[in-house]
Amino acid sequence: MSSSAIIINALALLLLIIALFKDRSRAWKALRMAGRSFLRILPTILLVVVLMGLIVGLITPDKLAQWLGGKSGVTGVLITAMAGAVLHIPSLVAFPMAGSLLRSGASVTIIATFVATLTMIGMVTFPIEAKELGKRFALLRNGISFIFALALGVLMGVIL
Amino acid sequence: MSVQSKNPWKEWLVLIILLIITALVAILFPAHQSSILKESWSLGKEMLMILPAVLILMGLFSVWISRDMVVRHLGQTSGIRGVALALLFGATPTGPLYVAFPIAAALRHKGARLSNIVIFLTAWACIKLPQEMVELNFLGARFMITRLILTSTFAILTGLIIEKILDRQNIAPENRKGDD
């Protein structure tokens, strides 16, 4: 088990014990929620596990670097940004995916841009945002976020 | 967390199709069999070691930090404290982004600063604390911390820009109809 995995499990256990002492019924409610979320996300987890095995196992690192690495250039970053804006992948499974791709040759800029647009911009949720907060607000927030996501990707690539 | 209406069977079906494709690929390219298996196995093992803990953290956060609490505290706090609270309250309760929109709308009616509402939404979207744990595990501390700092900065900038643009236009009567 990696050190971060130990920290996360220890933290969850500690908070769970505190919660059980503070308010048993609310702690159980939280646990039931966690169980339900696990069942709901399980097919997605399995999907990502099989898909990443297929991608990483089949595509050689230099091919992957060509498509998702420094060589893909501005077009690569823009396509990734668009993909992240359109797709609707929970970040719980998006981070493991991103980690696999990063280890097998994708560039930091591409991965950071993808994570940024994936989380900040929601094409799927846009109608709800427009309804609750106004169309102008939703357009502005998603538009500005898109520009900042690109900036974030480039900056991350420069820094890391 | 609200339950998505989509049919869970669809995901299982996609999984089965993907498994069939993988099996075909493994038969057609026997040289790749071991690397496909190795990647799937290590990724699956790693995910199963941390996701249950992360889901428990998410459950605890969403039970203890209620929507009312967020609206109550963020509705009246301003200044640096307001910005910090917006980041914190965005990063702690859990659930998909569409759960945050009604909360943001409630905040607006309570008179919260527009910039803080945007900061809250951006933090909700991309710096959830339990998810940060997943990021730490799979992308490393340097990646996580750098992204956290940049995202927080951009969240504040986005908030200020939107506030500047919308507050100036808010006097226009045609804008009112979008508010309800």
Residue ranges of domains in chain B: 1-52, 65-175
Nearest residue to B98 (alpha-carbon basis) of A117, A143, A128: A128
Contact A144 B161 (CB under 8 A): yes
pLDDT band at residue A97, thresholds of 50, 70 and 90?
very high
> Is it the case that residue A101 has pLDDT exceeding 90?
yes
Q: What is the rounded distance in angstroms from the CA atom of residue B159 to the CA atom of residue B152?
A: 11
For residue B37, the chain A residues in CB contact (below 8 A) are: 53, 57
Interface of A with B in 129-148 (CB under 8 A): 129, 131-137, 140-141, 144-145, 148
* Structure-model confidence comparison of residues B27 and A61, the more confident one: B27
Q: Which of B58, B157, B178 sits opposite A136 (nearest CB)?
A: B178
The complex's ipTM works out to 0.91
d(C-alpha B177, C-alpha B61), whole Å: 35
Which pLDDT value is given to residue B169?
66
Banded pLDDT at B10 (limits 50, 70, 90): confident
Angle made by CA atoms A17, B63, A2, in degrees to the nearest 5: 50
CB contact under 8 Å between B50 and A8, yes or no, is: yes
Residue recorded with tokens 């800029």: A109
Give the CA dihedral B117, B2, A27, A10, nearest 10 degrees: -70
| pTM attached to this predicted model | 0.87
Q: Reply yes or no on whether the pLDDT at B3 is more than 50.
A: no
- Output B34 or B94, whichever has higher pLDDT: B34
pLDDT in tens, B48-106: 999 999 999 999 998 998 888 888 888 878 788 999 999 999 998 877 888 899 999 99
How far is the CA of B31 from the CAs of A55, B19, B27, B36, in angstroms? 14, 18, 9, 10
Per-residue confidence (pLDDT) for residue B2, from 0 to 100: 35
